[in-house]
Structure 1
Amino acid sequence: MDYIQEMNLASASGYCMPFEERDGEVKLLLGYGEQTHPKTGGKFFHHGVDFGTHRYILAAVADGVVTGIGSNPTHGLFQVTRYGKYEVTSAHLARAMAPFGAKVKAGSVLAISGDLLHMEVRYDGEEINPIDFLAMLYGNLRMMRQQGHTGMPDFETIEMDIPTDYDDDQDEVEELMLRFYPDYLSEIGSGMYRVPEHTAQSLRNIFSLSAIRNYFYEVIPSLANPLGIGTRAMPIAAKVQNLLISDFLNYLAFRHGVFLSTLDGNGKKKDLTKR
């Protein structure tokens, strides 16, 4: 199926590529169409494309809805998202983050990839080369940027500066999250990493107290603020953020032997023994 202008995807929330390239270009492992099997050498028709994306966070590319989640022997865990007349299947997933029926916008987190990402695309029920679809998205992004837009949605956010114990290390923490956060979520989901009981209990206590004091739904909920919390809840938000960052750093110490550069030897020993 040849791409024509009528197939251009409209999206009020803007556009987003399905994953961020970490170190240069992501390698295309297998293209669309007639291919030679990398192991058997036999000829076969590949109905999608495969990228080398080990534990990448996968995002919604535009306004859409998750229309399917399943598993099969060929593609493992897969997720289907519909964007207008487009239907995109992402397979070989480590974890699906957006549930069936979820309405998504450009940049919404959908899933975490496994060792590779298999992608198939259909337009109005007819199979197309996913590269054509990605090229269309990239063209839309560039056009919006040339017009002075980022191409990404301007979500309503909580208008408050939430202080944490890690403000001085913010840049380093964010850099570590880009590298390890997908693995962190995946290992929590698979049970390979268990959140310490004292952390889980603290979070339960915080949310119970917040509900009693009516901190939730003080303002109209939005994608960026699903609980609808306002400025009254800033101390609670700060406590939650501290706990979540602390647990992520705890995971890095125990699973990867990675510590903040500002942590001295005594601090590292404390981190390794506090469980």
Structure 2
Amino acid sequence: MSNTRIVIALLLLLSGNHVKAQFNTVSCQGNRYKVTVENPTRTTNETEVTPESITSENEKSVPDKVSLSSADTKKKEQVARYLSVCYPLSHIKINSPYGYRKDPFTGKRKFHNGIDLYARNAEVYAMLQGLVIAVGQDNVSGKYVTLQHGNFTVSYCHLSQISVSQGQDVLPGDVVGITGNTGRSTGEHLHITCKYKGYVINPSIIFNVISLYFG
């Protein structure tokens, strides 16, 4: 399957059962909201993206004496998160890309079925709304979490901590774990594997879709 077809499939996914996010301007109860993505961390000098924020294009000023209740505030935050996407880390730096490479253990040429991102004790975020379908630990992946987003699955590996449970629903920006060095790893990093209908694909495709629409 070509990258273009996968990107199209990913866009279609975002209007499916497991993911309600939409990349374009959407209508919501009579108001029009523009979705933007910002950085999960609060301060940085680098270009980065965060879970979510939402602004109304026809928002009117509210008198000083009127304030939103905690329930209203929480509801607005939930709506914002349903209409968002998020990078898996607050800083994205690829240490080892998807594809053939020299295996760090054997020195032989071997296919790398995901990407390795630089990380140091960092929170790992769900990129899309989805479902936790697996959590566990083995000798290769170490501690891992696998999320299902429609026809896509995303696995986060070599974690030091897992913050979710199997069967749990997640929203973009929810913390699913903390990066680490468990399993077959030469140093701390976040390994991400993505599959579409069971076939391994380059995780950068999802990153590119996020970047394409949110910069």
* TM class by smaller structure: 0.5 to 0.7
Residue 18 in 1 paired to residue 57 in 2?
Answer: no
In 2, distance between residues paired with 1:19 and 1:97?
15
Residue 125 in 1 paired to residue 198 in 2?
Answer: yes
- The 8 Å contact of residues 15 and 141 in structure 1, kept in 2 or not, is answered as no
Unpaired runs of at least 5, structure 2: 15-19, 22-81, 181-187
Structure 1 residues 140 and 98: alpha-carbon distance in aligned structure 2, compared to 1, 3 A threshold:
farther
| Paired position in structure 1 for 2:155 | 89
Q: 1:62 deviation in Å?
A: 1.5
* Pairs within 5 Å for 1:91-240: 91-114=157-180, 115-142=188-215
Q: 1:141 deviation in Å?
A: 3.1
| Paired position in structure 2 for 1:267 | none
Identity in percent: 27
In 2, distance between residues paired with 1:99 and 1:45?
30
Unpaired runs of at least 5, structure 1: 143-275
Deviations 1:66-116 (A, max 9, x none): 100011111110110011111000000011101111101111111111121
| Paired position in structure 2 for 1:27 | 93
Q: 1:134 deviation in Å?
A: 1.5
Deviations 1:223-267 (A, max 9, x none): xxxxxxxxxxxxxxxxxxxxxxxxxxxxxxxxxxxxxxxxxxxxx
- The 8 Å contact of residues 64 and 84 in structure 1, kept in 2 or not, is answered as yes
Residue 48 in 1 paired to residue 48 in 2?
Answer: no
Matched residue SS, 2:89: coil
Structure 1 runs (4+) greater than 3 angstroms displaced: none
In 1, distance between residues paired with 2:143 and 2:99?
22
| Paired position in structure 1 for 2:138 | 72
- The 8 Å contact of residues 54 and 113 in structure 1, kept in 2 or not, is answered as yes
| Paired position in structure 2 for 1:262 | none
In 2, distance between residues paired with 1:140 and 1:51?
22
The CA RMSD over aligned residues, in Å, is 1.5
Q: Which amino acid in the other structure matches residue 137 of structure 1?
A: I
Q: 1:39 deviation in Å?
A: 4.7
Q: Which amino acid in the other structure matches residue 205 of structure 2?
A: D
In 1, distance between residues paired with 2:106 and 2:138?
21
Per residue, is there more helix in 1 or in 2? 1
Higher relative contact order, chain-length normalized (CA < 8 Å, sep 6+): 2
Paired residues, number: 138
Which of structures 1 and 2 has the bigger CA Rg?
1
Q: 1:40 deviation in Å?
A: 3.5
Residue 62 in 1 paired to residue 111 in 2?
Answer: no
In 2, distance between residues paired with 1:7 and 1:102?
22
Matched residue SS, 1:100: coil
| Paired position in structure 1 for 2:9 | 6
- The 8 Å contact of residues 15 and 140 in structure 1, kept in 2 or not, is answered as no
